[in-house]
Amino acid sequence: MGKDQQPSDTRERFIQAATRLFSERGFYGASMDQIAREVGLTKQAMIHHFGTKEKLYGAVLEDISERLMDELAKQGKETPVTFPESIQQIFRYTRKNPLESRVLMRELLDNRSRTNRAGRWYLKPFLDRLNGALKETGAWHKASDADIAARVYQLLGAISYFEVSTATLEAMYSSEQVKSMTEAYPELLAQLADLPPGG
Amino acid sequence: MGKDQQPSDTRERFIQAATRLFSERGFYGASMDQIAREVGLTKQAMIHHFGTKEKLYGAVLEDISERLMDELAKQGKETPVTFPESIQQIFRYTRKNPLESRVLMRELLDNRSRTNRAGRWYLKPFLDRLNGALKETGAWHKASDADIAARVYQLLGAISYFEVSTATLEAMYSSEQVKSMTEAYPELLAQLADLPPGG
DNA sequence: ATTATTCCCTACCATTTGGTAAGAGGTCAA
DNA sequence: TTGACCTCTTACCAAATGGTAGGGAATAAT
């Protein structure tokens, strides 16, 4: 937020560790002491940087949101890309950064109960950007904003859910099966992303 | 599990309260004291019935799994139903029972970190049943188990994710938009469920 | 040289956590 | 009537929780 926001390295390391622990155990399950010790500093050092646990968590979300935006920006820089490609890229990104998917998913779950005080929803710009991309796509020019948002959300849902549940899948099915599912998934996503709107 | 498993009413009430609080705050966020006070009894009374927090949680999962199976069984009783109809029914069910969706989603998230000791995965029969239903569908007869599981998982993912994130959606978009998205969603699901396998 | 600021520490603290110990009151069988 | 459960209670407990208070060392600004 305000301030100069120099990464300060230490701050960055706290955010990294917090991302890991929040992703594994959730907001309530991860303790400040744990996170700080992961970095090799004390809980109070962390409090010095972030103030409260809530604010630390906010910093983590902000960080994730930025990375997702960067990913999309990076993509569009050279070649104009299609919407399905964007979706596949997000999928690949979440595969490479599973921790962030988990934090995001948890945020959606916790959001309702934790006081949504700031009212600031860190992911909104990212979603708006995807919505815009879909709107530019052939059959979607005339689609309503709601239809567009629904499709985008469905795709993100499928992506997050897949990533998040991989561990469970592996416990239920053979790891070969999981592997072939994982490989087949981008194509499935692309199919769905290409599906024209409405019934 | 073992024992006679008489519902015992009190036990049932504990499970109900636990479902609510686990869905709102997750495994770590919900305290035994909170849950018990919700029922109007003491934490120790609850411990008497369930032993530990983990076991209480297990009972909650077991309960949810049973309800989902019942829902599918109820459906198939009179008319043979199509796979898309099953999916839509699950969607309607999760809409009516949002707490359970949330608990399920959280379970997927927590599963990895919490010692998956029992190795018992309460949802497996439910998933197997859906997989079976899809296999009976036209173009899916020859599809691989992995492809089938992938499709089922994608659909369940889209359903859970949608339900779970409704609160967040409402914070981001107008509630009218959310409403129309919600109404459009079953058709989207049916479309996806009808989509033939492979690329 | 001195002040202010940043970063991090030790020392606490009240509260809450999951869980144990021991027993009270009731029901039911022998 | 005795004794064995079952259900639920009060009384504890050690450990962990998020957070405060205050200071020490280094760096930067004056």
pLDDT per residue, tens digit, chain A (199 aa), is 333 345 568 999 999 999 999 999 999 999 999 999 999 999 999 999 999 999 999 999 999 989 999 998 887 777 768 899 999 999 999 999 999 988 988 887 776 555 454 445 777 888 888 999 999 988 899 988 888 887 888 788 888 878 877 777 777 677 777 787 788 888 888 888 888 876 4
Q: Is residue B142 classed as helix, strand or coil in its secondary structure? A: coil
pLDDT digits (tens, 9 = 90+) for B47-80: 999 999 999 999 999 999 899 999 988 877 777 6
Helix ranges (H only) for A51-113 are 53-76, 83-96, 98-111
Q: Which nucleotides on chain C have any atom < 7 A from a protein Cβ? A: 7-11, 16-22
pLDDT of residue B33: 97
Residues 42-101 of A with CB under 7 A from strand C: 42, 44-45, 48-49
| DSSP output for B69-133 | HHHHHHHHTTS---HHHHHHHHHHHHHH-HHHHHHHHHHHHHHTTS--TT---TTHHHHHHHHHH
Q: State how far residue B195 is from chain A, nearest Cα, in angstroms.
A: 9
Question: Is 60 exceeded by the pLDDT of residue B142?
Answer: yes
Mean pLDDT score, B108-125? 62
A157:B153 CB<8 A: no
End-to-end, the C-alpha distance of chain B in Å comes to: 43
Alpha carbon distance A69, B6 (integer Å): 53
Higher per-residue confidence, B195 vs B51: B51
- Using a CB-CB cut-off of 8 Å, the residues of chain B touching A106 are 26, 106, 109
Higher per-residue confidence, B138 vs A54: A54
pLDDT of residue B1: 39
Question: Is 90 exceeded by the pLDDT of residue B104?
Answer: no
Going by pLDDT thresholds of 50, 70 and 90, the confidence category of residue B120 is low
pLDDT of residue A114: 52
Q: Is B31 on the interface with A (CB under 8 A)?
A: no
pLDDT of residue B183: 87
Count Cβ–Cβ pairs < 8 Å, chain A vs chain B: 168
Going by pLDDT thresholds of 50, 70 and 90, the confidence category of residue B117 is very low
- Using a CB-CB cut-off of 8 Å, the residues of chain A touching B144 are 180
- The position carrying tokens 């978009």 is B173
Closest residue, CA to C1' of C20: B44
Question: Is 80 exceeded by the pLDDT of residue B177?
Answer: no
The answer for residues whose C-beta is within 8 angstroms of residue A158's C-beta and 6 or more apart is A189, A192, B154, B157, B158, B161
Tokens standing for B110?
Answer: 């927590």
Alpha carbon distance A32, A28 (integer Å): 10
Stretch among A39-43, B7-11, B19-23, B111-115 having the lowest mean pLDDT: B111-115
Higher per-residue confidence, A16 vs B128: A16
Question: Among A98, A102, A104, which residue's Cα sits nearest to residue A127?
Answer: A104
pLDDT of residue B150: 79
Question: Is 70 exceeded by the pLDDT of residue B95?
Answer: yes
